[in-house]
């Protein structure tokens, strides 16, 4: 893969909060996506992250309606017609001495990019209802529910723009285009030696 192809894939693999309705995602596709996350880098190669795959429509709906979506966008919450088709949950196996935040980041990146190659969009969610997850799924006590990832087919236009005045708050315009301000290279490079 060439640099420009990878750059385009990363630019297109945006967090999506509005999904097309009634799209079925097969467990087989989630397993293939997860197989790439499985082989990503892991701190000390300890691999503390475990996963739950959810395609059951009832469970997906229950999870979606109990999640806070795009909290910085005022006067908006996800409607029933905009819900995702599946979820992947990352769990930290606390019995393993690793660096789960590093592993979760590497894993999410792989999941997001792999999903995009299958025409799917993702949304990482820290605002998941962890108690609901424990009620819906069999989760050992030693596993901490870290984040959820919503998956589906995107139903929104998303544009990357350079952050102005260091403001990285995402927003929507009157046409409901979702704008994501990103810090420039000059804003993130502290030094070059």
The answer on pLDDT for 74 being more than 80 is: no
Confidence band (pLDDT; 50, 70, 90) for 79?
Answer: confident
pLDDT tens sequence across 59-72: 999 999 998 887 77
Q: What residue spans define the domains of the chain?
A: 3-155, 157-193
Asked whether 117 and 89 are in contact (CB, 8 A), the reply is: no
CATH architecture of 157-193: Single Sheet (2.20)
Q: Is the pTM of this model over 0.85?
A: yes
Average pLDDT over residues 36-61: 96
pLDDT for res 1: 87
Confidence band (pLDDT; 50, 70, 90) for 127?
Answer: confident
The answer on pLDDT for 41 being more than 80 is: yes
pLDDT for res 22: 87
pLDDT tens sequence across 162-186: 999 889 998 889 998 999 999 999 9
The answer on pLDDT for 93 being more than 80 is: yes
What is the Cα–Cα distance from 72 to 8, expressed in whole angstroms?
A: 26
Residue 80 to residues 53, 91, 172: CA-CA distances in angstroms? 21, 27, 19
Burial class of residue 67 in the structure, from the number of CB atoms within 10 Å of its CB (0-12 exposed, 13-18 middle, 19+ buried): buried
pLDDT for res 72: 75
Strand order in the sheet with 158-162: 158-162, 178-182, 171-172
Which CATH number is 3-155's, of 3.40.50.300, 3.30.365.10, 3.40.109.10, 3.30.565.10? Answer: 3.40.109.10
């Amino acid at each position: 893969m060439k640099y420009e192809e990878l750059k385009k894939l990363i630019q297109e693999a945006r967090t999506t909060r509005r999904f097309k309705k009634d799209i079925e995602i097969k467990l087989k596709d989630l397993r293939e996506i997860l197989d790439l996350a499985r082989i990503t880098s892991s701190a000390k190669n300890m691999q503390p992250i475990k996963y739950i795959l959810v395609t059951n429509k009832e469970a997906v709906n229950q999870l979606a309606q109990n999640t806070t979506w795009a909290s910085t966008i005022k006067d908006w919450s996800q409607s029933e017609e905009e819900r995702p088709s599946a979820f992947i949950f990352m769990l930290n196996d606390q019995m393993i001495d690793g660096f789960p935040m590093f592993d979760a980041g590497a894993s999410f990146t792989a999941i997001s990019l792999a999903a995009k190659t299958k025409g799917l969009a993702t949304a990482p969610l820290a605002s998941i209802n962890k108690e609901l997850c424990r009620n819906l799924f069999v989760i050992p006590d030693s596993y901490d529910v870290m984040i959820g990832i919503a998956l589906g087919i995107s139903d929104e236009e998303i544009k990357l723009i350079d952050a102005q005045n260091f403001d990285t708050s995402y927003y929507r315009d009157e046409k409901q285009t979702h704008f994501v301000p990103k810090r420039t290279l000059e804003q993130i490079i502290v030094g070059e030696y």
